[in-house]
Amino acid sequence: MRSNQGLLLFILLIPTCMQALQAQGIWWLRAGGHYSRITGIQSNHYTPQMGFHLGAGFERIFSKSAGWKAEALINSKGFTSFYESSTLHSYQSSSNQVEQLSLLIPLQGTWHGKLFALELGPYFDFLIKSSQYQINKVRYGTGELTQTELTDHSFNAYRNPEMGMALGAGLELFSGIYIKARYMQAFTPLGNDYHWRRMSRLQFSLSKRFGRVVAREPMYQVASAHDLRKDLYRIGSRQQIGQVVVNRLDSGRQVIFRWRAAETGALQISQISLEASSGLITGSGSQLRITEASFPLSIRLRFTVTNPTSQQSYESNLELEILEPGLWNVGIWN
């Protein structure tokens, strides 16, 4: 019965994941390894173990940098322990090896900087499969040796689900590829026979991100503090657009529009309609520009965005007024 709880939760999460995709959230595939150890009383009897995790997740960005995310990961974990004791008449030892497979569900708040991201929140780990192999030996002073072996595939000895907190960080290596590290500490004990022992894990993984790209300007487009002043332009309205970043790169009378998600292939842009109070409109596809413009310059932009994975489409609108002349770059993230 308990083995079905994690599967049931995963099924219940599917509609939520689909809603996130339709709302143009971020989703990704993730895989990696982790190092787990047992903490608590007599934890010195336990040997650290290596494991793996793989799965998918989604994230919604609510502002420029803050959001929340959920993941569903198939996760291997386990532990080994060894105890020994001796008296005048006997020597006793017990070795125990436990291997488990679980469905790991982290639910975390996120914060995104220019080069990295932080995440913090609880997790729930549901056992799907468990295997325990234990050997007990007793050697008497007479030389007689007795040995018993135990194999157990039930979940009765363990807390299910395991609950705890996770803290992680990620760094974007290149477009859509992240390397991530996460520390996880369980709040619940291992089980009925392990009241004062808890599991901690250190995860390392690679993830591939799809969907709307988190807003971040490339490092090579560095402008002065004067050029980034928001009193040089006004955004009148913005619909179905994650973020608009306006930079004045140099002197001139041009405005360049770039769709960042379309350049990475995460989204498709079509049916672009660009209107301006002056100037000549040139270019096509994901790059358009207005040349020989007079300022102040009023701009109205409409376009259709399509997610190539889910094939969901929606209309986006932007009204912008740029007050002073220059070579302006308008970066659009959906």
User: What's residue 197's pLDDT?
Assistant: 79
Q: Which DSSP string corresponds to 297-334?
A: EEEEEEEEEE-TTT--EEEEEEEEEE-S-EEEEEEEE-
User: What's residue 194's pLDDT?
Assistant: 65
Nearest CA among 153, 131, 179, 174 for reference residue 30: 179
The amino acid at 199: M
The b/e string for 127-137 (b: 16+ C-beta within 10 A; e otherwise) is: bbebebeeeee
Tally of helices (H runs) and strands (E runs) in the chain: 2, 19
Between the CA of residue 7 and those of 102, 104, 123, 124, what are the distances in Å?
A: 10, 11, 16, 13
Q: Give the torsion through C-alpha atoms of 149, 154, 157, 158, to 10 deg.
A: 130
Between the CA of residue 159 and those of 17, 130, 154, 177, 201, what are the distances in Å?
A: 27, 12, 12, 35, 17
Say if CB 204 and CB 181 are below 8 A apart: yes
The residue assigned the tokens 């996770």 is 166
Arch. (CATH architecture) of 3-77+101-125+156-211:
Beta Barrel (2.40)
Would you give per-residue pLDDT tens digits along the chain (334 residues)? 444 554 555 555 555 554 544 444 678 899 999 988 887 767 677 788 899 999 999 888 776 678 889 999 999 988 888 878 888 778 888 888 888 899 999 999 998 776 778 999 999 999 888 888 888 888 887 777 888 888 877 767 777 888 999 999 998 787 678 899 999 999 888 776 666 678 889 999 999 877 644 333 333 333 333 344 567 888 888 888 878 888 888 889 999 998 877 666 677 888 888 999 999 988 876 678 999 999 999 999 998 888 777 788 888 999 999 999 999 999 887 7
User: What's residue 230's pLDDT?
Assistant: 61
Distance CA 201, CA 219 (A): 34
- End-to-end C-alpha distance for the chain, whole angstroms: 43
Distance CA 40, CA 50 (A): 19
Distance CA 288, CA 259 (A): 9
Distance CA 209, CA 188 (A): 32
SS3 state of residue 15: helix
Where exactly are the structural domains of the chain? Answer: 3-77+101-125+156-211, 230-333
* Length of the chain (residues): 334
Distance CA 109, CA 71 (A): 12
